[in-house]
Chain A
Amino acid sequence: MWFVRFVSSSIGKKVTMALSGLMLLLFLCSHAAGNATIYMSRAVFQGYADELHSHPLIVIVFSTGLFLVFLAHISLGLLLFLQNRQAGASRYTVSTRVVTNSLASETMPYTGLCILLFVLIHVFGFAFGPTGEMISDTVKRLLGHFFYGLFYLVAFAALALHLSHGFWSMLQTFGVNHPRYNKMINKLTYIVPLFFLLLFGGIVLYFMTGRGASF
């Protein structure tokens, strides 16, 4: 079948990687928009959360879809990593990277696994947290712990690094590489990760520093 042949080809695997990455990025945008209500007030945030959970069908469909996308992205990413390690790694006595700034691209599987660890802890803390507690109180309680907050900040830094290669890499995989747009894309590879780092990191800092005590 053409689909199986496409997905098992080298470029097909990359395209699947990029497509699932794009979907995760879109999820991140919607999650960021929802969480930004924390900056407005407790009432707005609680209102957003209550509204979302008053449509259980939407929540179930989207969270199942997200889980499958995550699964595809992670398993394929690890498969590519293992295949490539066989084809290439450590075959020279002296190996030199000519490209400067290759930190993000070299650490993709590791920053990815940091994000996975974060997602597991995050979901168990918030989605499957104590029932009966208002979500605003859960946020305040958990992020109020210094080390819990610190872990979140480290994970967000890993996410930013992952995205700083991922965003550009996704476009290149889709075939978007043209002198007319490359300047803008180069800027966006910094702006996109920084945007998420500041928005999510800001929420954690708000509670960590105690300024959110009256939230």
Chain B
Amino acid sequence: MSTIDLTLQIWRQKNSDSLGNLQTYTLTGISTDMSFLEMLDVLNEKLTKEGKDPVAFDHDCREGICGMCGSVINGIAHGPEKETTLCQLHMRNFKTGDILVVEPFRSRAFPIRKDLIVDRSAFDRIIQSGGYVSVNTGGTPDGNAIPIPAETAELAMDAAACIGCGACVAACPNGAAMLFTSAKISQLCLLPQGKVERKARALAMVKIMDEEGFGNCSNERECEAVCPKGISIRNIARMNREFIAAALFEG
């Protein structure tokens, strides 16, 4: 088992109202088989034993599917490995002597709650405004009653892979939420079940996205470069088409 020694500079902030700052910690003997979050667990055990406040960070599944985890490591959301969430990022990506600056996902629409924990409920409000398909209750429909071409199903599935982690917003120079919103809009508008409400959905979700204080997209492509699920900006192009059509023919 190989181990490494690291210097960490972690953003510490008591609550939303206080000013935060970077604090430096050193860790020795970190196994390269650990995930980034397990490394933070080691740090927190150490801090707890010393009677200090452990670093607060979000996490849940620790297998890359829930979208809870995420921080900015040396300026890159979810760290240096492509298409990987922070919980799936292994310490073998780093070497002894590395200085890692760990900051929360920052955006005007994501207020910091404590240390590395940010409030991403703005995403929930975007979903609530139309990121669903209205289904009246009744008997269970037959799974094969509505045929869907394989290619369409694949494209919808690619969009549905978004776990709502917020890395796209964190990485965007403008703090825009276009990749997230476009993934949700695409996932539904591609499928027959979602086509019925597509215009109202596009108008409502973009409206809330703007109101929540996200910035304007300027096609910088940083979002797709850091997205742990490889969501493509082709979805943003699709959302633009959906929104333009909806505004012209529905608005």
Instruction: Report A's interface with B, CB cutoff 8 A.
Output: 2, 5-6, 9-15, 80, 83-84, 86-89, 91-99, 102, 105-106, 108, 165, 168-169, 172-178
For the complex with contacts A11-B206, A11-B244, 4 further pairs of A-B residues with Cβ separation under 8 Å are A87-B108, A96-B76, A105-B218, A172-B237
Contact partners of A86 in chain B: CB under 8 A = 108, 215
Q: Which of B199-223 contact A (CB under 8 A)?
A: 206-207, 209-210, 213-222
Q: Is B117 an interface residue (CB 8 A)?
A: no
Q: Is B183 an interface residue (CB 8 A)?
A: no
Which of A108, A176, A177 has most B Cβ within 10 Å? A177
A-B contact pairs, 26 of them (CB 8 A): A9-B207, A10-B209, A11-B240, A12-B243, A14-B216, A15-B240, A80-B218, A84-B173, A87-B107, A88-B172, A88-B176, A91-B175, A92-B72, A92-B106, A93-B9, A94-B75, A96-B74, A99-B222, A99-B225, A105-B221, A165-B219, A168-B219, A172-B240, A175-B237, A177-B234, A177-B237
On whether the beta carbons of B251 and A5 are closer than 8 Å, the reply is yes
Q: Is B91 an interface residue (CB 8 A)?
A: no
Contact partners of B226 in chain A: CB under 8 A = 98
Per-residue contact bits, chain B 150-186, to A (CB 8 Å; 1 contact, 0 not): 0000000000000000000001111110100000000
Question: Known contacts A11-B206, A175-B240: does B234 contact A83 (CB below 8 Å)?
Answer: no
Q: Is B236 an interface residue (CB 8 A)?
A: yes
On whether the beta carbons of B210 and A10 are closer than 8 Å, the reply is yes
Rounded to whole angstroms, the CA-CA distance of A83 and B175 in the bound complex is 11
Contact partners of A80 in chain B: CB under 8 A = 216, 218
Number of chain B residues close to chain A: CB under 8 A? 47
Question: Known contacts A10-B209, A173-B240: does B76 contact A88 (CB below 8 Å)?
Answer: no
Nearest first, the 9 A-B pairs at minimum CB distance are A96-B75, A87-B215, A175-B241, A177-B237, A2-B251, A84-B174, A88-B175, A98-B225, A94-B75
Q: Is B101 an interface residue (CB 8 A)?
A: yes
Q: Is B22 an interface residue (CB 8 A)?
A: yes
Q: Is B113 an interface residue (CB 8 A)?
A: no
Contact partners of A2 in chain B: CB under 8 A = 247, 251
Q: Is B115 an interface residue (CB 8 A)?
A: no
Q: Is B92 an interface residue (CB 8 A)?
A: no
Nearest CB of A to B228, in Å: 13
On whether the beta carbons of B106 and A175 are closer than 8 Å, the reply is no
On whether the beta carbons of B103 and A173 are closer than 8 Å, the reply is no
On whether the beta carbons of B174 and A88 are closer than 8 Å, the reply is yes
Contact partners of B213 in chain A: CB under 8 A = 87
Nearest CB of A to B166, in Å: 14
Q: Which of B98-116 contact A (CB under 8 A)?
A: 101, 103, 106-108
On whether the beta carbons of A88 and B72 are closer than 8 Å, the reply is no
Which of A6, A92, A165 has most B Cβ within 10 Å? A92
Instruction: From the candidates B225, B236, B244, name the one contacting A15 in the complex (CB within 8 A).
Output: B244
Contact partners of A178 in chain B: CB under 8 A = 234
Rounded to whole angstroms, the CA-CA distance of A86 and B75 in the bound complex is 19
B249 closest partner in A (C-beta): A2
On whether the beta carbons of B106 and A91 are closer than 8 Å, the reply is yes
Question: Known contacts A88-B107, A93-B103, A175-B237: does B216 contact A13 (CB below 8 Å)?
Answer: yes
On whether the beta carbons of A83 and B215 are closer than 8 Å, the reply is yes
B11 closest partner in A (C-beta): A93
